[in-house]
Amino acid sequence: MNWHKKWRKYSAVTLTAAQSRLAYWQEMGARTFFFATILFTFSGLWGRMIGADSTVAGYSQQQLVWYLTLTEAITLSATSLLQEVEQDVKTGQIGYLLAKPLNYLLYQAAYYTGEMAVAFSLNLLAGGLVAWALVGLPPITPSSLVQTLVLVALGAAVRFCLLAAIALLSFFVEECRPFYWIYSKLIFTMGGLFIPIDLYPQRWLKPCVGC
Amino acid sequence: MRWLLAQWSINLASAMAYRISFLTQVVFMLLNDIFLLFFWWIILQLVPDIGGWGMADIWLMYGLAAGGFSLVAIFAGNFNRLSTLIAEGQLDYYLALPKNVLLHVLVSNTSFSAVGDLIFGLVMGAMGCRAHGASYLLFLFFMLTAGSLLCAFSVITNSLAFFIGRSEAISQQLTQAMTSFSMYPGTIFQGAARFIVLFLLPAGFMTHIPVETLRHFDRANIWIVLAANLVLWLLAILLFYAGLRRYESGNQVTLRG
């Protein structure tokens, strides 16, 4: 099969996933509500921590809130990847899926891309509006926008690999969910979900997280 | 009481059927909770305190939030699945038995990964009480009231399913929002935010007021927390039974072990 046909096949999967994601508007509404509560809480937290120079270790409240808006928009764009793969493995459904004329992992990647694209766009829109209302707009340039989008795409790709690896642990253990808990907490701590890694204590943590 | 003990022992027996899974979940939940402290450790490296809240207050807050949550998840594990059971018409089984419907539904499930939360909560409470010279018995009392508040609030949000059908997403997010607010220092919520965490998503009664009381004992706060529990449970019971009159069976044939 040539690359063109393969591309059409997997892009159809991506499109279906995006449409399916848009159908669950209730879930999206609930997620947006949760996002708003997180931004609201952290805006209050940074407000409490701000020093005499109107910054927290050099970062303004506006910068910290917009940082969180972007990181949370990615993190909250959760997809069904983990549940899907885990269920396929646990129920044996994967045996039938492997026989289909699709690469199982590429199929999951295409589906993940569709779900992620819709969820991230909506999260960014909703979170952006809340952040704008809370602390105003940050200075945005075309170059910073392009850099951000490239980084988000690369981050989403790394996330897919990690989630797929965790989900495939179902072949070896009964429940892969506990590994996901640890992964999500590592993102939370080492991944700098809530605060920029630059703010981490210098002496040992920065080398650990690789900056 | 004998019936409740029998129900919980059945739940425990079913969890024990998958021992390794049970132990893995408990250990990983414990690790998961420990990671949460890391964030506050970093924050408190940047500033000496957060509106007067130091690390010992964070320990107490997490002890109450995790401990309270674990009590509900262990003893009333269906607290956040109620809306699914209602929307899918799965209450028939409970309606046919001569037991209190709400209580029976709530206790019919147990989340044993919450044992990890319970251990974490008890240890955090002990550390926080030691640092403040506070009474551990009072901490345990507030852990009970935190769990009770969370359960009542969850019954209220999940009962929305009687009125609007599939409400799982919004019910669970409201409960999660309350749990989230209970895991941040009370002093960051000022003005309208303070009103929200006290009267709309009452996390303030779950952890903020109890932590302040453990730090500086005030008998009036105990009564305030008890009154909040009473009001929330009255609302929960009224809403659940008002909704139950509108309940429609799913006509599902199910077997329960």
Q: What is the ipTM of this complex?
A: 0.72
Rounded average pLDDT over B72-99: 86
CB pairs under 8 A between A and B: 100
A170 to chain B nearest CA, in Å?
12
Rounded average pLDDT over A64-83: 85
Amino acid B29: pLDDT: 78
Rounded average pLDDT over B77-94: 86
Amino acid B253: pLDDT: 62
The upper half-sphere exposure of residue A142, i.e. CA atoms within 13 Å in the direction of its Cβ, equals 0
- Is the model's pLDDT at A144 over the cut of 80? yes
- Is the model's pLDDT at A30 over the cut of 90? no
Q: How many residues does chain B have?
A: 257
Tell me whether residues A178 and B35 touch, CB distance under 8 A. no
| A27 shares contact with chain B (CB less than 8 Å) | yes
- Single-letter amino acid, residue A66: W
Alpha helices (runs of H) in B82-183, residue ranges in sequence order:
82-87, 92-95, 101-107, 114-132, 136-158, 160-164, 168-181
| B18 shares contact with chain A (CB less than 8 Å) | yes
A78 to chain B nearest CA, in Å?
14
Q: How confident is the model over B160-207, as pLDDT tens digits?
A: 988 887 777 788 888 888 998 999 998 888 888 888 888 889 999 999
Distances (CA, A) of B195 to A205, B170, B201, B214, B226: 38, 21, 9, 22, 18
Q: Please, are residues B211 and B60 in contact by the beta-carbon 8 Å criterion?
A: yes
Closest-CA residue to B123 (of B66, B208, B39): B66
A76 to chain B nearest CA, in Å?
13
Write out the DSSP string of A148-196.
HHHHHHHHHHHHHHHHHHHHHGGGTSS--HHHHHHHHHHHHHTT-SSS-
Q: How confident is the model over B116-139, as pLDDT tens digits?
A: 899 999 999 999 999 988 899 999
Look at residue B182 and give its three-state secondary structure.
coil
Enclosing H/E stretch for B81: none
Amino acid A209: pLDDT: 61
Rounded average pLDDT over A44-62: 80
Rounded average pLDDT over A151-164: 91
- Which of A 35-54 lie inside 8 A of B, CB atoms? 37-38, 40-41, 44-45, 47-49, 51
The backbone torsions φ and ψ at residue B50, rounded to the nearest 5 degrees and listed phi first, read: -115, 95
Name residue, tokens 């980084």. Answer: A151
Rounded average pLDDT over A74-101: 83
Number of other CB atoms surrounding residue B211 within 10 Å: 28
Tell me whether residues A51 and B24 touch, CB distance under 8 A. no
CA-to-CA distance for B137 and B151, rounded, in angstroms?
21
In Å, the largest CA–CA distance within chain A is: 65
Dihedral (CA of A148, A154, A156, A162) sign:
negative
Look at residue A211 and give its three-state secondary structure.
coil
Residue-wise burial string across B50-65, b where 16 or more C-beta atoms lie within 10 A, e elsewhere: bbebbbbbbbbbbbbb
DSSP state of B53: B
Q: Which of B16-20, B77-81, B112-116 has the lowest mean pLDDT?
A: B16-20
Residue-wise burial string across A137-172, b where 16 or more C-beta atoms lie within 10 A, e elsewhere: eeeeeeeeeeeeeeebeeebeebbeebbebbbbbee
Q: What is the dihedral of CA A35, A36, A41, A43, to 10 degrees?
A: 110
- What are the E-state strand segments in chain A? 55-56, 59-60
| B252 shares contact with chain A (CB less than 8 Å) | no
Amino acid A207: pLDDT: 67
Q: How confident is the model over B13-42, as pLDDT tens digits?
A: 777 777 777 787 788 778 878 888 888 888
Tell me whether residues A56 and B172 touch, CB distance under 8 A. no
Q: B167: Cβ–Cβ under 8 A, 6 or more apart, which residues?
A: B83, B87, B157, B158, B160, B161
In Å, the largest CA–CA distance within chain B is: 59
Distances (CA, A) of B29 to A159, B133, B143, B206, B247: 22, 28, 18, 21, 36
Q: How confident is the model over A164-201, as pLDDT tens digits?
A: 999 888 888 867 888 888 888 888 777 778 888 877 77
On average, the pLDDT of chain A sits at 83
Rounded average pLDDT over B47-75: 93
Rounded average pLDDT over B223-238: 97
- Single-letter amino acid, residue A165: A
Amino acid B139: pLDDT: 96
Cβ neighbours of B35 in A, within 8 Å: 182, 185-186, 188-189
- Is the model's pLDDT at B102 over the cut of 80? yes
